[in-house]
Amino acid sequence: MPVKKTGKATTTSGGTLMMIGGAEDKANERAVLNTLVKHAGKGRLVVASLASEEPAYQWSTYSRVFKDLGLKDVQHFAADTREDASKPGVLKTFEGATAVFFTGGDQLKITTKLGGTDAYDRILEIYTKEKGLIAGTSAGAAAMGQMMLMSAQAEGSEKHKVRRAFIMARGLGLITDMVIDQHFAQRARIERLLGAIAENPAVLGVGIDEDTAIVHRNECFEVVGSGAVYVADGSSITYTNASEPEHDPTLCLFNVNLHVLCARAKFNVTTREPERPGLIVGER
C-alpha cells in the first residue's frame, strides 16, 4: 500500500538560495552566472573560497567574471583555518553585502571553518533577515543543506552498496529536509542520491548537473542552465533495505518518484510537484 505524501517546506525562511552543480560556463553565454548576478542585488557580493585548495585562483577567476558581468563591489572572504574565519576584522568583509557566493572544493572545509562563528551568523542574517542571496557551486552547493552528501572512498566500483556509496555530514542548515548533490550526471551519482533518501525518505534528494543551477525562493525552485536537475522524492517509498542487518547490502528501494527537470522547469518543495517549463517571450 503506498505511503501517503505529506507536503513540507524545506527551507529556512529567507531570501534566495542558488545551488549550482559545478563547472558553470564562465566564458560564453554564462546563463547561470548571469542569473546569480541578477539576484545578487545592488550591494556587495562576497566570494567565500573556504572550500578550495586554491583560494587565490578562485578569487581571481570569480572576481573577474562578476565584475565583467556588472557587479561593482566584489570582496573576498578567505580563511585557511577556523581561527582565520573567526578574526574580528572578518565581519568588515560583509559590510553592505546583499549576496554571498561559496566556491567549490571540499564542503567539509566550509562547515568546519565557518560553523558557530560570527561570520556564519552574519551570512545567516543576510539570508534570513535581509532577504539576500546565498549561492554556491559544487561543494558550495552541497553544503547548503542541514545534512550534506560526501563521497566515500569506495565511490566508483561499489556505489550500489548501501554503506559504501557516500557518507553524510552536517551542513550549513540553510535547507532542511533536502540534500543536494552536484556534478550529477557527469559523475554518475544517482546511486548515492537514492541511498540518501533510502536512509531518510522524508528528505528530498536534488541532483544538479554541471553548468546548471536551481534558484530557490519561498516554496519553489526554478532550473537555470544547460543541464538537468534530478529530484528524488522518497515520500512514497514502500520498502528499503537501508537499515537491515545484512552486511553491506546492495541497495533495494521500491516506489521512488524521480523527476528530471530542464531549464525553466519549476518544482514546488511543499507539494512536491513539478511544473512544466515556461516559455520565453517569442517562443512558440
What are 125-142's pLDDT values in tens digits? 999 999 999 999 999 999
Strands 44-48 and 229-233, bridge-based pairing = unpaired
pLDDT class for 62, splitting at 50, 70, 90?
very high
Mean pLDDT of 83-98: 95
Grid cell, residue 197, equals 533518501
| Largest interatomic CA distance in the chain | 58
The helix/strand/coil state of 257 is: strand
| Residue 190: per-residue pLDDT | 93
- 53-67, 76-90, 146-160 — which is least confidently predicted? 146-160
Domains identified in the chain and CATH numbers: 16-267 (3.40.50.880)
Instruction: Quick: pLDDT tens for 210-256.
Output: 999 999 999 999 999 999 999 999 999 999 998 887 777 888 999 99
User: For residue 11, is pLDDT > 70?
Assistant: no
Q: What is the pTM of this model?
A: 0.91
Residue of 49, 183, 191, 222 marked catalytic: 183
- Res 158: pLDDT: 63
Q: Please indicate whether residue 138 is annotated as part of the active site.
A: yes
- Catalytic residue (one of 24, 155, 191, 210): 210
Assess whether 183 carries a catalytic annotation. yes
CB neighbours of 88 closer than 8 A, spacing ≥ 6? none
Predicted local confidence at residue 226, as pLDDT: 98
Active site residue 259: no
- Residue of 49, 52, 138, 235 marked active site: 138
Residues 6+ apart with CB under 8 A from 81: 113
Q: How far is CA 265 from CA 32, 237, 280, in A?
A: 14, 24, 12
